[in-house]
Amino acid sequence: MTILCVRFQLPLTGGAELPHLLGMLEEFTPVVQALPPDGALADLRGAERYFGRDAVELASVIRVRSLALHGVDCVIGAGPGPMLARMALDGAAPGVTRTVPEEQGAIAEFLAGQPVAALPGVGAATARTLGDYGLDTLGRVAAAPLSTLQRLIGAKAGRELREKANGVDRGRVVPNAVSRSLAAERPFGRDELDPDRHRRALLSAAEELGARLRALEKVCRTLTLTVRYADRSATTRSRTLTEPTAHSPALTRTAYGLYEALGLQRARVRAIALRAEGLDPADQASHQLTFDPVDEKVRRIEEVADRARAKFGPRAVMPGGLGGAAA
C-alpha cells in the first residue's frame, strides 16, 4: 500500500488552507498531486524506505500533524495504486485509514461487490447503461466478455473498464501545484435555499477572481465550482473556458452555467466556492477579437473599475446585482 488518498475536512472558509496542507504532505514525499478543493494523492514508495515505516503508519503521522499544525482532521484511503486508494477513501472514517491490500485476490474481493459507479471516471450515464444489462457491480463487469463491454460503451472505454474492474490500476500520481490556481469562497450565514442568493454569491466570487487575476496579470483556462451542502457533502464540477481569460463577465457566465447544470432542487447550500485553474501569463494568452462594440466597452469599463478599486478599495465599484448586499 504505497499510495494515499487524503481528504481534508476543511472548514467552510478553509479553501486557502489547502496549499499549506499540501506543503505538509510534501515533507513526506515530493510526489503529491492536489485534488482540489480538499484532497490530495501522495505516492509514499520512497517515503516508506526513507522513514522505515509503511504507508498506514505514515498516514497516522500525517493525520496527527494535520490536526496539530492546522487544526484540520482528515480521512485517508490507502492502496497499491491511485484508483484503489481513491476507492478506499470513499468508505474511510476519521481516525482510521481504510486500506486495500496488494494481493490480487484481496483486490478482487474488494472490488467484486462495489457498484460500477464507485469506480473513478465512471459517470452516471455509463453506470446506467451497464446496469440496464445487469452489469451493476464491478465483479459482474470483470466477468463479462470484453466484446460485450465494448459493444455497450465503446472499444477503448470497454477495455479500460474491464481492466479496472479486474484490479489493473495503471494510474500514477502526477505532482502538480495548487498555487497555479486561485479560489474564492462564499459561505452563507445559514443554510441557503434561495437560488437568487446562490447566484449572487457566484457573481461576487467571479468578480473577485477576475479582479485578482487581472492584478496578477494572469488568465485562467478552467473554472471549478464547488457547492457544499448542509450535510457537509459537496459537489464539484469543472469547465474549460473557450479561451483563457480574466474577464469577469466571462467567468460569471461560466459559473452560472456550471450552477445551472447541477439542477439543484431546494438544496440547502452552506457555501459556494469558485476556483480559477490553469493560470498562465496574460501577455501569452490569445484573445479572439470581435466586432461587438459592447464587448470592448465592457472591457474598458472593467479597466477603469480596476483602477478605482486599486485606489479606493475593493468595494469602490461593484456590479449592480451586488448593490446593498454583503456578498
Nearest alpha-carbon partner for 275 in 72, 22, 19: 19
Average pLDDT of the chain is: 85
3-state secondary structure of 276: strand
Q: Give the helix ranges, DSSP H, for the chain.
A: 18-25, 45-51, 55-70, 82-90, 104-112, 124-131, 138-143, 146-153, 155-165, 195-215, 248-262, 293-312
Residues with Cβ within 8 Å of residue 256, at least 6 apart in sequence = 199, 202
77 close to 5: Cβ distance less than 8 angstroms: yes
Burial of 163 from C-beta contacts in 10 A (0-12 / 13-18 / 19+): middle
pLDDT under 70 in the chain at which residues?
A: 1, 11-16, 177-180, 284-299, 301, 304-306, 308-318, 320-327
Residue type for position 236: T
